[in-house]
Amino acid sequence: MKTIKSIFALSIGALILGGCSGHFATNSNDIEQLNNTLNNKLSSVNATLAQQQIIAQSQQANVLFDQIFQENLMASPMSQTYMGIKKDYGQWDSLTQAQSEKDHQKNISDLVRLESLDSALLDSQTALSYTLFTDKLRAKISDYQWRFHNYPVNQMHGLHSGAISFLINAHSIKNISDATAYISRLHGLKRLMVELTQMLRERENKGIMAPLFVYPYVISDSVNVLKGAPFDNNEDSPLYGDFKRKIAKLELPKAQYNTLLAQAEKALLSDVKSGYSTLISYLREQQSRASHDDGAWKFPQGSEFYKRALQITTTTEMSADEIHQLGLSEVARIHGEMRQIMHNVGFKGELNEFFEFMRTDSQFYFANNAQGREAYLTQATAFIDQMRERLDELFIVKPKAELVVKQVEAFREKSAGKAFYNRPAPDGSRPGRYYANLYDMNNMPKYQMEALAFHEGIPGHHMQIAISMELEGIPKFRKYGHYTAYSEGWGLYTEFLPKEIGFYKDPYSDFGRLAMELWRACRLVVDTGIHDKRWSRETAIDYLSNNTPNPKGDVIKAIERYIVMPSQATAYKIGMIKILELRKMAQDELGDKFNIREFHDVILKNGPLPLHILQQQVEAYIKASHR
């Protein structure tokens, strides 16, 4: 391949011989013109070569990004299932420390592979991917020291209940092979629960145990797995009932159906029962040693851990004190807006009295029975359908994946959160799901339904997560990535957004929107209170009860959630504030040129981002719009 220097020499010769009509140039103007021509040609050659290098290096980088993502995906049978891949369909992930160390070493190796790329020779989109991937790997490697600082089993999540939910909601059965894989996973639950028990043992040896209140929840959830047929003579257990329903749809010959059912019964009565009995026994034993200490401060190096947890969750450098003060300020502001609604509806009394009225008046609650639950699901779906009709006013791109509203399953509803979202399958075989926990309808007031549906469904999590999965031209690790402040900030922002186009016409529903924003503002106060300022569970419950209209049961469940998930609750308000901040910046800078649909496109078109990088994207959008 010719070098730039040789190309330069050839160009000189060609121009001198072919450009001077058979004689040498002697005029100074001719020489100057010749030099300019040569410089222009050289610049063009250099630009072409540089562009070719950028294209080649960017292609190499994107191949590597997807290669690493695929390697990690194929090392996780459960992740494969969530992605609609059936290669290791009958297997579970490994929970051992050996596997954890293996994953850690792979992260180190993957970072070396990425750093072998020349990041200066990447196009802008690939350069963003490079920054996100290398930053994420460096964080994982650095944070390996905190791998024991969590509760593998708690009332919010954990494979004691997660494995059951996984089989019911993710493991589809379309043929005999799928059914056999399901039975294989039933057998595998013994190993999984033994490994989960070992995780608890390892953490206890390091001084890390869940608070005492956690144990009745997780023991109950685990015991529920073994209730019902074939373990006793009652209605089908969760897994047995699920397997029956799924294979019934295959319309198999009776003998084949009975054979599969017998195999499932055997797996349930042997390995499922054995595995869960091991876990339940250890949980009961550990319960006797648990304490009422609730905050992360009790962990080894607890203060350092919580500081890092806040950085990861918020993608900022905000301290616990700064977050605490921000929460207090936001609580005061929202209380002021609530007082205005209280006056508008003609309520006479103080704000706390209005809160009590909203907590207790029967007009704000569905009946606590099957009809009430069905009515809730119907109305929540209607809110989402109404919002779907208005999306073109706010968005350029809309999700292709379907969304359904579902009730949290009975086996886990007592301990599960108030509401949550599960992403759809990439191949369209499973829709996005907004789960509402209807265990106690007194904890699900009507006036919060609208905001809750927008947050979990459209234009909230389903909008953001489904669009991210469907993006083209970005690597898979970004499509399926996650930054809590970004995703939950978007969820909270999209509770507010519909108000700007005429939703929340009922003042009580608008009060519910504010109540949910207030809830997230209070989270800043209580999360830092519990984990940094050593508040007790009871102190945190009192603060949330006194400052929000939420029912007591709702308050208790929330505080218990914040205790077992240090820092997670701070993401919502900090993310929302940043998005509103960036929107105002764009409006102020662009004036009449500002377009809300374009702004939302900027927020969504790159998939999940840390907040400081999201700001860079908005700044680039503003700059480009000025041209």
Report the pLDDT value the prediction gives residue 198, as an integer from 0 to 100.
Answer: 98
Q: Order the strands of the 432-436 sheet from edge to edge.
A: 403-407, 432-436, 419-422
Whether 282 and 201 map to the same domain: the answer is yes
Report the pLDDT value the prediction gives residue 588, as an integer from 0 to 100.
Answer: 97
Whether 231 and 356 map to the same domain: the answer is no
Whether 249 and 334 map to the same domain: the answer is no
Mean pLDDT of 460-482: 94
Q: Which of 534, 552, 578 is the last residue of a domain?
A: 578
Taking a C-beta distance cutoff of 8 angstroms, is the pair 521, 334 a contact?
yes
Is the predicted pLDDT of residue 207 greater than 70, yes or no?
Answer: yes
- Rounded percentage of the chain residues whose pLDDT exceeds 90: 87
Taking a C-beta distance cutoff of 8 angstroms, is the pair 431, 424 a contact?
yes
Whether 145 and 113 map to the same domain: the answer is yes
Cβ-count burial 139-159 (b if 16+ within 10 Å, e if not)? ebeeeeebebbbbbbbbbbbb
Distance CA 295, CA 527 (A): 9
Q: Please state, rounded to an integer, the average pLDDT across all residues of the chain.
A: 93
How many structural domains are present in the chain? 3
Is the predicted pLDDT of residue 9 greater than 70, yes or no?
Answer: no
pLDDT digit string (tens) for 261-295? 999 999 999 999 999 999 999 999 999 999 999 99
Residue 562: burial class (beta carbons within 10 Å; 0-12, 13-18, 19+): buried
Whether 124 and 156 map to the same domain: the answer is no
Task: Choose between 489 and 19: higher pLDDT.
Answer: 489
Whether 436 and 555 map to the same domain: the answer is yes
Is the predicted pLDDT of residue 4 greater than 70, yes or no?
Answer: no
Q: Could you tell me the residue range of the domain that residue 380 belongs to?
A: 304-578
For residue 48, name the pLDDT band (cuts at 50, 70, 90). confident
Q: Which amino acid is at 9?
A: A
Whether 336 and 406 map to the same domain: the answer is yes
Domain assignment present for 491 = yes
Report the pLDDT value the prediction gives residue 491, as an integer from 0 to 100.
Answer: 97
Is the predicted pLDDT of residue 163 greater than 90, yes or no?
Answer: yes
Tokens of 472: 């083209």
Task: Count CB atoms within 10 A of the CB of residue 249.
Answer: 9
Report the pLDDT value the prediction gives residue 551, as an integer from 0 to 100.
Answer: 84
211's CB contacts (< 8 A; 6+ apart) are 290, 291, 292, 293, 294, 537, 563, 564
Is the predicted pLDDT of residue 88 greater than 80, yes or no?
Answer: yes
320's CB contacts (< 8 A; 6+ apart) are 306, 307, 310, 528, 531, 532, 533
For residue 27, name the pLDDT band (cuts at 50, 70, 90). low
Domain assignment present for 91 = no
pLDDT digit string (tens) for 407-443? 999 888 887 778 999 999 888 888 999 999 999 999 8
Taking a C-beta distance cutoff of 8 angstroms, is the pair 227, 234 a contact?
yes
In 3-state terms, what secondary structure has residue 570? Answer: helix
Task: Choose between 570 and 427: higher pLDDT.
Answer: 570
Domain assignment present for 622 = no
309's CB contacts (< 8 A; 6+ apart) are 296, 531, 566, 567
Is the predicted pLDDT of residue 29 greater than 80, yes or no?
Answer: no
**φ, ψ for residue 536 (rounded to 5)?**
-80, 165
Whether 313 and 288 map to the same domain: the answer is no
Is the predicted pLDDT of residue 525 greater than 90, yes or no?
Answer: yes
Domain assignment present for 88 = no
The beta strand positions in 288-427, using DSSP E, are 403-407, 419-422
Report the pLDDT value the prediction gives residue 46, as an integer from 0 to 100.
Answer: 63
Report the pLDDT value the prediction gives residue 614, as an integer from 0 to 100.
Answer: 98
Report the pLDDT value the prediction gives residue 427, as an integer from 0 to 100.
Answer: 86
pLDDT digit string (tens) for 480-516? 999 999 999 999 999 999 999 999 999 999 999 999 9
Whether 181 and 325 map to the same domain: the answer is no
Is the predicted pLDDT of residue 545 greater than 60, yes or no?
Answer: yes
Whether 348 and 392 map to the same domain: the answer is yes
Is the predicted pLDDT of residue 28 greater than 80, yes or no?
Answer: no
Is the predicted pLDDT of residue 23 greater than 60, yes or no?
Answer: no
**φ, ψ for residue 37 (rounded to 5)?**
-65, -45
Q: Which of 235, 262, 292 is the last residue of a domain?
A: 292
Whether 323 and 271 map to the same domain: the answer is no
